[in-house]
Amino acid sequence: MINQLLNPYSFSAAESNCITLAGNNWDSNRNCINQLKGDLNTHFDSHQHEKCCYCGLLYDRTGRGEIEHIAPKGATLYPQFCFNANNLAKACQLCNSSSMKHTYNSIQTLLPNYDQCIFKIVHPYLDDHSLHYKWHYGIRSVIISVANNSTKARESIRVFELDSVKRTRARASQKNQERLDFFYNIPNVIKQRIQSVLKFK
């Protein structure tokens, strides 16, 4: 239900130049930075199928989708990784909220090369999720558990409350809807109606 992301954003030469001119500042008001954020959103919606990189649920079940810095970009944390492609994904509003991830320090061991850092949580791009999570599929619940005694999975489940009753039921609703879509090829208008009924509360 929560899958490893395989398609980080690929910055063009013009975008890389814009980032340099903006001083690697995510909050820069340069037009090219604003355009880049729009392109990032489009990319993630397409490649993540509008599902949160942490909980695997559709964004609209928990509010909306937000561009996420997996290693937080704050000045006292990891501003150097602000525009690192493997540090950018899209998360649902709940997973990215102050009660969950927000400015949580996800790095256990910091190294100069981002991809060599050791993370406390299951990394959306760098980790094979099947080595960390196990799933038990039921009609009314999809239960997550830790595979291979993974400390990363245990921490991800804790931080994002992946084993909560609401999330367990929401995953089952989503899985059942996906099965219906697959077997009956439901028209989009009906899919949208089903989604509105099954929204995560």
113: left (phi over 0), alpha (psi -120 to 50) or beta: beta
CB 118 within 8 A of CB 108: yes
Longest dimension (CA), the chain: 52
State the chain's mean pLDDT as an integer.
Answer: 91
pLDDT per position as a tens digit, 146-193: 999 999 999 999 999 999 999 999 999 888 877 776 666 666 666 677
User: Bridge partners of 135?
Assistant: 144
Indicate whether 70 pLDDT > 70: yes
Which residue has 């999570």 as its token pair?
Answer: 133
HEC letters along 30-90:
CHHHHHHHHHHHHHHHHHCCCECCCCCCEHHHCCCEEEEECCCCCCCCCHHHCCCHHHEEE
What token pair was written down for 189?
A: 């208008």
pLDDT of residue 4: 97
pLDDT of residue 24: 94
Q: What is the mean pLDDT of residues 104-114?
A: 96
Percentage, residues of the chain above pLDDT 70: 89
- CA nearest neighbour of 66 among 46, 104, 40, 84: 40
pLDDT of residue 198: 61
Domain ranges of the chain: 13-197
Banded model confidence at residue 103, pLDDT cuts 50, 70, 90: confident
Task: Say what angle helices 13-21 and 31-47 make with each other, to 10 degrees.
Answer: 130
Q: Who's near 163: CB < 8 A, 6+ residues apart?
A: 143, 144, 145, 157
Residue type, 130: S
CB 58 within 8 A of CB 50: yes
Reported pTM: 0.87
180: left (phi over 0), alpha (psi -120 to 50) or beta: alpha
Q: What is the mean pLDDT of residues 98-105?
A: 87
- For 52, phi and psi rounded to 5 degrees? -65, 140
